[in-house]
A and B are shown apart, each in its own frame.
Chain A
């Protein structure tokens, strides 16, 4: 969905490096999310934010941090990358005001490899 963009789309890095994944959205949604997906598994929630001043830990937040710089931007950082953080990372947005649905719209994903 072009309304939710992620950069970079692919990244290879080394153990111990700091990495930032960025997400931008033009949908005007207030809620944003970061998920990771490992092969053969579903998505697991890392962090989520319901507005600029709101940050919440998800299921697997250890080793990650986030920043909600503006309503449209939500960045995920790996302070010191380790190989088991190799995964496909998805950003998503939703609008609490959209009827009652809270449907989530996903970005195209960032494939991260930590060597």
Chain B
């Protein structure tokens, strides 16, 4: 049973901000939101994670709604190399009994 819902695909113009939404309406209070991406057929790569506060790192920003039922990953200035499948995952951190569940994700195409 999927814990997250993401649009199957999105386009973004190069240099623009890419905003990738994720719905996680059944998220529990101790579950974090993680984002990974997979470029072509390479192994997935960690991007960012958060619990309830907005987070920013060198790759992206994560905006989590106050009710925590949805979030948005923001790539502030998308480049062609950001074309990838982006996965939104909810999971309790350091939970030995729960593993990452990668759904189909959102295929982001950055267009020149």
Interface set of A (CB-CB < 8 Å, partner B): 1, 4, 33, 35, 40-45, 48, 50, 58-59, 88, 90, 92, 96, 100-109, 111
* Pair B46/A102 contact, Cβ less than 8 Å: no
Stretch at the interface among B13-21, B63-71, B92-100: B92-100
* Pair A33/B99 contact, Cβ less than 8 Å: yes
Majority secondary structure, B binding face: loop
User: Which residues of chain A are near B45, meaning CB under 8 Å?
Assistant: 106
* Pair A41/B104 contact, Cβ less than 8 Å: yes
Interface set of B (CB-CB < 8 Å, partner A): 36, 41-46, 49, 87, 93-94, 96, 99-105
* Pair B41/A43 contact, Cβ less than 8 Å: no
Interchain residue pairs with CB less than 8 A apart (16): A42-B87, A42-B102, A42-B104, A42-B105, A58-B99, A59-B101, A92-B44, A100-B93, A101-B49, A104-B36, A104-B100, A105-B43, A105-B46, A107-B43, A109-B41, A109-B43
* Pair A103/B105 contact, Cβ less than 8 Å: no
Beyond A33-B99, A42-B104, A106-B42, 12 additional contacts (C-beta under 8 Å) are: A35-B102, A40-B104, A42-B105, A43-B44, A50-B96, A58-B99, A92-B43, A100-B93, A102-B93, A105-B43, A106-B43, A106-B44
